[in-house]
Amino acid sequence: MTETEHTSETVTLARLPSGVSLTTTVHTYRPASADADTAADATTAGSPTLYIQAAQHGREVNGTETLRRFHERLLEVPLSGTIVAVPVANPLTFDRVSYTAPETFDSVNSNMNRVWPGDADGSLHQRMAATLWEYVTQADAIVDLHTGSPDMYPHVVYREGDDRARELASAFGTDLLLSEEANDDASEEWHRRGFAGKLRVAAAGEDIPAVTPELAHNKQIVESAVETGVDGLFNVCRTLELLPGNIIDHDQTVARNHLGKVTTPESGLFRPEPALELGDLISAGTTLGTVFDPATYEPLVTATTERAGLLYALTKEATVVEGEALASVALVRESEN
């Protein structure tokens, strides 16, 4: 017997210069017994609504695959609220298998995750965000699925000091949680890079707890990343009491985002220290790798970390240019065992 009712709608996100409509599919899940009216009543009566989206950055396909598998399993379990899911939030970047859209589509901001809550009269990305924002603001919790790269340790980002977002992040279950300061508390870099326009930050501004899981890998379906995503969504649903079942507790390390980035002052060929692994706790002064002049073999830079912490990114793109990030070390705030 099907426990959960599923409907889907095609939603126009924006109009392309040619006049072609840019559309995506929005999926809605409700308890099987409820018709639309009673489901709406149930929402106002306090049963929660969860909004999940993937692929704002179109190459981050493991979020999209996570939602496909989540869909299959969700139909077999009894739901006590509403879930709205958008597997392809940004078809422009999905079709290009890219992170950002070309300037020909959006001269204001090529990164959709810098324009929230969007603007119905704005640029293409702003219009797309404004369309989806209508769904976002009806939700009680937000999960914005992203993926990093093979060089990045899977983690979930939440706003520092936001206990409800912290609970969602914790429920998602990755080994590492990264708290991020926002607005007045945030660094100059945070403001310069337009992070106030992230969906997670804009939703928090509306008092909706939101988290950004960063599953590993992009462009390829990676089973472990997808299963982490599906397990994470189910545990988030249990925590919100959308689904029955025991909440699974995880051992997690909490660290702070956007600190301890190690960049190279020289261009060349970077060889990461072979003994290092993502997730390692390292001390200040640890050697992360060496940048060589590829033609003369001369070592140019020995990259070290100034601070102790958890190594959560270490580049595998061997050809590096000056100023580029080689590694990220998160400042550990607490360990939970």
Nearer to Zn ion, 47 or 100 (CB): 100
| Interface stretch with Zn ion, choices 49-57, 103-111, 311-319, 321-329 (CB under 5 A) | 49-57
Nearer to Zn ion, 29 or 172 (CB): 172
Q: How many angstroms separate the most distant Cα atoms in the chain? A: 73
Q: Could you tell me how many residues make up the chain?
A: 337
Contact between 146 and Zn ion per CB under 5 A:
yes
Say if residues 150 and 125 touch (Cβ distance below 8 Å). no
Look up residue 205 and give its two tokens. Answer: 């501004």
Nearer to Zn ion, 30 or 57 (CB): 57
Contact between 198 and Zn ion per CB under 5 A:
no
| Interface stretch with Zn ion, choices 31-39, 53-61, 202-210, 281-289 (CB under 5 A) | 53-61
Q: How far apart are CA 250 and CA 104, in angstroms?
A: 45
First-to-last alpha carbon distance for the chain, in angstroms, is: 40
Q: How far apart are CA 199 and CA 115, in angstroms?
A: 8
Q: Of 30, 57, 155, 258, which lies in the binding site for Zn ion, with binding defined by CB under 5 A?
A: 57
Q: Are β-strands 210-215 and 261-263 bridged in parallel, bridged antiparallel, or unpaired?
A: unpaired
Say if residues 109 and 115 touch (Cβ distance below 8 Å). yes
Give least dist CB 116 to Zn ion, A. 13
Task: Count residues near Zn ion (CB under 5 A).
Answer: 3
Give least dist CB 3 to Zn ion, A. 32
Select from 110, 136, 165 the least CA-distant residue to 51: 136
Nearer to Zn ion, 214 or 273 (CB): 214
Contact between 30 and Zn ion per CB under 5 A:
no
Look up residue 107 and give its two tokens. Answer: 């001269």
Nearer to Zn ion, 13 or 42 (CB): 13
Tell me, residue by residue from 247 to 286, as one string, x for binding to Zn ion by CB under 5 A and - for no binding.
----------------------------------------
Which residue number is nearest to Zn ion in terms of Cβ?
146
**291 beta partners:** 270, 301
Give least dist CB 15 to Zn ion, A. 25
Site for Zn ion in 97-116 (CB under 5 A): none
Give least dist CB 178 to Zn ion, A. 14
Location of structure tokens 């270490």: 314
Look up residue 200 and give its two tokens. Answer: 């997670």
| Interface stretch with Zn ion, choices 58-66, 100-108, 161-169, 309-317 (CB under 5 A) | 58-66
Nearer to Zn ion, 146 or 164 (CB): 146
In this structure, the number of other CB atoms found within 10 A of the CB of residue 110 comes to 19
Q: How far apart are CA 107 and CA 95, in angstroms?
A: 19
By three-state DSSP, how is residue 2 classified?
A: coil
Give least dist CB 56 to Zn ion, A. 6
| Interface stretch with Zn ion, choices 55-63, 133-141, 150-158, 234-242 (CB under 5 A) | 55-63
| Interface stretch with Zn ion, choices 18-26, 44-52, 59-67, 129-137 (CB under 5 A) | 59-67
- With residues binned 3-state (H G I as helix, E B as strand, rest as coil), the percentages for the chain, rounded to 5, are 25, 30, 40
Instruction: List CB contacts of 46: < 8 A, sequence separation 6 or more.
Output: none
Q: How far apart are CA 100 and CA 112, in angstroms?
A: 7
Nearer to Zn ion, 57 or 71 (CB): 57
117 upstream amide cis, omega within 30 of 0: yes
Nearer to Zn ion, 270 or 312 (CB): 312
Give least dist CB 146 to Zn ion, A. 3
Nearer to Zn ion, 140 or 144 (CB): 144
Binding site for Zn ion (CB under 5 A): 57, 60, 146
